[in-house]
């Protein structure tokens, strides 16, 4: 069978940056091929070359036998492209239906075929009830589903998806993946995608791991996991950060990092086992609940091959920034954020409905919810950017209704979409924010130097901000947000689209600010492993607060309601879900496994193999596991939707 796409020895250089170096890949017809790697690895460059949008410096790309460079126009009917960024391919003023019609017209789809395909896509994506809504008024998840509709309307044979779910909540991500797999099942379609979500990459048939323009590993999930460099140990403890600090230098530990509600340690060779690490912990008086050998995930493979231990957080620079100088603490109260019965109306629409919570000094408070839940609106009210319609609250003792200007001087805000001026240099951005927050020229010079150290940009203050890798850019944005030494920092999806390495470094800074400097942090995120790093969190949906508590407390609540979780490793997860969900309603896909919740674990373990075996689906492993927070998120949101329909 002829390959769908062949890349032969592709190289591409931008000035001094080698985006691709001798990359060779083959994609088979009908497969989902994933490209994963850190920021600046060359993933988008490779997709643009494969799609004929960019000429390589060296090498050839052939799409269904057509030389892409020689005949870029000839391949257009064969492919569809969804670019990186929420809704960037859409006409924002047009409605959902008008956007689909527009793309159908561009691709010269006959009227009858257009109408049939449009209705099918609107039904599958659940966008049919909103066909008259303008694209600019859609949530991130809805924009991406509409983008997929527009990409697929002309029935392409090859689809390029550049980080299609970045910035999208877990429920919408799940819907998009159902759509992708439904399309693959119904048509002979090949998908080439990039993603920063490792559990998503596990759903691909094959994957390539890129770093610095080169392919480090290639194969299916099992082949890549076999290439994990070292043994994986899982460490369960109450104080993850304290345990991490005490154990990361243990003999044989290459690298250790938080992963949800546990620590993962990659150990060199086969010498270091669970008992060795437990003995080391006991010798240091470090309390751990248990240490056990784990099964590596794709994220562990990724980190084992790419992650090199660095100096981590520049603690000295952060301590100097927040110590001495201008900007003293204005409040000594324990509850730094207090919100009571907060409402926000836009016309008759209640974007925020009766929200009440508080956040303590030095606490990391997670603020979660699907796209359009009301999180950003709530944060903007707390920052003084939107006046509340009703309700009350205080930030560092200042009244939310009457002292908005004073509040702004005591908080730092890193927005979801806009934090830095991309066309300014690094130094100009820092100076601009220093001026906005009223930092004196002498003090600004000192703080600028410290922020450059925090962002790992020493000597690069003249670099154009837009040229920076995403992870560095986000650390710079955080530095600008704390230049005035705020008591409270609001971080709105600060790591969206950032690779696992950069996300890990960013959260090291968050923990140091919280634990060592007692800065209060309210953070929104769509990465559920990050949500588990929070001390407490709230979950919003449809403008209302539907859950509030610690990560473990919310998990315990679900356990009482629907039982324990079984993790089922199968060879065909989407097909398995169709079978299992008929007998067990609380069942979801996570990577290549099913997460099934049952009050009777033993009985379910005994019967699940035969249930799936009758349909020709192979069960490789069934085991009890602690629930990941993505399941918590989905459960509470679906429960709220069901209760809302009853009202």
Per-residue pLDDT of 84-100, as tens digits, reads 877 788 999 999 999 99
Residue 137 pLDDT exceeds 80: yes
CATH hierarchy code of domain 5-224: 3.40.50.300
Residue 108 pLDDT exceeds 80: yes
Q: How far apart are CA 135 and CA 144, in angstroms?
A: 10
Could you identify the residue written with the tokens 């509030």?
A: 548
Task: Provide the pLDDT for residue 328.
Answer: 43
Task: List the domain boundaries for the chain.
Answer: 5-224, 229-295, 315-548, 552-646
List alpha helices for 307-338, DSSP H: 315-322
5-224 and 315-548: same fold? Answer: yes
Residue 114 pLDDT exceeds 60: yes
- Between 485 and 268, where is the model more confident? 485
Return the closest-CA partner of residue 430 out of 409, 455, 407, 405: 455
What are the strands of the beta sheet with 488-492, ordered from one edge? 411-414, 488-492, 520-524, 364-368, 536-541, 544-549
Per-residue confidence band for 41, with pLDDT thresholds at 50, 70 and 90: confident
Per-residue pLDDT of 189-243, as tens digits, reads 899 999 877 777 888 889 999 888 999 889 988 898 888 878 889 999 888 878 8
Task: Provide the pLDDT for residue 628.
Answer: 85
Return the closest-CA partner of residue 208 out of 61, 42, 60, 56: 42
Q: How far is CA 218 from CA 215, 223, 301, in A?
A: 7, 8, 12
CATH hierarchy code of domain 552-646: 3.30.70
What is the CB-side half-sphere exposure of residue 226 using CA atoms within 13 A?
Answer: 6
Q: How far apart are CA 509 and CA 145, in angstroms?
A: 34
Residue 95: CB atoms within 10 A of its CB come to 18
Task: Provide the pLDDT for residue 295.
Answer: 82
CA dihedral sign of residues 144, 150, 154, 160: negative
Per-residue confidence band for 417, with pLDDT thresholds at 50, 70 and 90: low
Q: How far apart are CA 111 and CA 118, in angstroms?
A: 10
In words, the CATH class of domain 315-548 is alpha beta
Per-residue pLDDT of 297-337, as tens digits, reads 888 888 777 765 445 677 888 888 887 555 545 555 689 99
- Mean of all residue pLDDT scores within the chain: 87
Check if the beta carbon of residue 190 is closer than 8 Å to that of residue 579. Answer: no
Angle at 26 between CA 576 and CA 89, to 5 degrees: 75
Residue 627 DSSP label: P
Per-residue confidence band for 505, with pLDDT thresholds at 50, 70 and 90: confident
Phi and psi angles of residue 443, each rounded to the nearest 5 degrees, phi first: -70, -35
Task: Provide the pLDDT for residue 312.
Answer: 61
Reply yes or no on domain 229-295 having CATH 3.20.20.140. no
Task: Provide the pLDDT for residue 307.
Answer: 66
Per-residue confidence band for 271, with pLDDT thresholds at 50, 70 and 90: low
Per-residue confidence band for 450, with pLDDT thresholds at 50, 70 and 90: very high
């Amino acid at each position: 069978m002829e390959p769908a796409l062949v890349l032969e020895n592709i190289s591409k250089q931008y000035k001094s940056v080698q985006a691709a170096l001798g990359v060779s890949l083959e994609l088979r017809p009908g497969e989902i091929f994933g490209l994963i790697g850190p920021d600046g690895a060359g993933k988008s460059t490779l997709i643009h070359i494969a799609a004929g949008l960019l000429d390589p410096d060296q090498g050839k790309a052939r799409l269904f036998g057509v030389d892409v460079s020689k005949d870029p126009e000839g391949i257009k009917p064969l492919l569809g492209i969804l670019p990186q960024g929420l809704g960037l391919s859409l006409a924002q003023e047009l409605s959902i239906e008008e956007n689909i019609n527009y793309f159908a017209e561009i691709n010269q789809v006959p009227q009858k075929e257009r109408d049939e395909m449009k209705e099918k896509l609107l039904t599958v994506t659940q966008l049919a009830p909103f066909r008259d809504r303008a694209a600019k008024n859609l949530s991130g998840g809805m924009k991406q589903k509409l983008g997929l509709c527009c990409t697929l309307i002309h029935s392409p044979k090859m689809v390029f998806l550049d980080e299609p779910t970045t910035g999208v909540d877990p429920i919408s991500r799940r819907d998009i993946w159902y759509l992708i797999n439904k399309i693959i099942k119904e048509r002979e379609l090949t998908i080439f995608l990039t993603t920063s979500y490792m559990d998503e990459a596990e759903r691909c048939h094959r994957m390539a791991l890129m770093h610095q323009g080169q392919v480090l590993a290639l194969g299916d999930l099992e082949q890549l996991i076999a290439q994990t460099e070292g043994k994986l140990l899982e460490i369960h403890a109450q104080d993850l950060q304290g345990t991490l600090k005490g154990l990361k230098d243990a003999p044989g530990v290459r690298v250790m990092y938080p992963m949800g509600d546990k620590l993962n340690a990659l150990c060199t060779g086969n010498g270091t086992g669970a008992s060795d690490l437990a003995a080391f912990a006991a010798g240091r008086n470090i309390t751990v609940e248990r240490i056990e050998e784990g099964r590596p995930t794709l994220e562990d493979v990724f980190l084992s091959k790419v992650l090199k231990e660095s100096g981590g957080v520049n603690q000295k620079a952060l301590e100097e920034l927040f110590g001495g100088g201008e900007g003293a603490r204005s409040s000594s109260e324990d509850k730094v954020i207090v919100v009571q019965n907060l409402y926000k109306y836009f016309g008759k629409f209640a974007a925020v409905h009766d929200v009440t919570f508080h956040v303590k000094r030095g606490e990391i408070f997670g603020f979660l919810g699907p796209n359009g839940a009301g999180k950003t609106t709530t944060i903007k009210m707390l920052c003084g950017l939107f006046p509340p319609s009703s309700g009350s609250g205080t930030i560092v003792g200042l009244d939310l209704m009457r002292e908005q200007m004073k509040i702004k001087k005591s908080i730092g805000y890193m927005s979801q979409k806009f934090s830095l001026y991309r066309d300014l240099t690094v130094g100009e951005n820092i100076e601009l924010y220093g001026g906005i927050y009223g930092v004196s020229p002498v003090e600004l010079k000192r703080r600028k130097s410290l922020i450059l150290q925090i962002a790992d940009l020493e000597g690069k203050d003249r670099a154009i901000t837009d040229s920076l890798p995403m992870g560095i850019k986000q650390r710079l944005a955080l530095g600008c947000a704390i230049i005035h030494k705020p008591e409270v920092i609001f971080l709105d999806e600060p790591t969206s689209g950032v690779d696992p390495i950069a996300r890990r470094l960013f959260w090291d800074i968050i923990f140091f600010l919280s634990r060592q400097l007692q800065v209060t942090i309210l953070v929104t995120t769509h990465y559920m492993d990050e949500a588990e790093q929070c001390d407490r969190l709230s979950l919003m949906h449809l403008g209302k607060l539907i859950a509030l508590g610690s990560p473990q407390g919310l998990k315990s609540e679900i356990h009482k309601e629907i039982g324990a979780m079984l993790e089922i490793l199968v060879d065909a997860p989407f097909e398995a879900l169709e079978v299992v969900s008929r007998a067990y309603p609380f069942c979801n896909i996570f990577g290549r496994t099913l997460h099934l919740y049952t009050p009777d674990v033993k009985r379910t373990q005994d019967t699940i193999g035969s249930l799936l075996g009758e349909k020709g689906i192979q069960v490789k492993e069934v085991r009890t596991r602690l629930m990941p927070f993505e399941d918590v998120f989905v459960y509470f949101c679906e429960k709220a939707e069901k209760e809302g329909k009853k009202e």
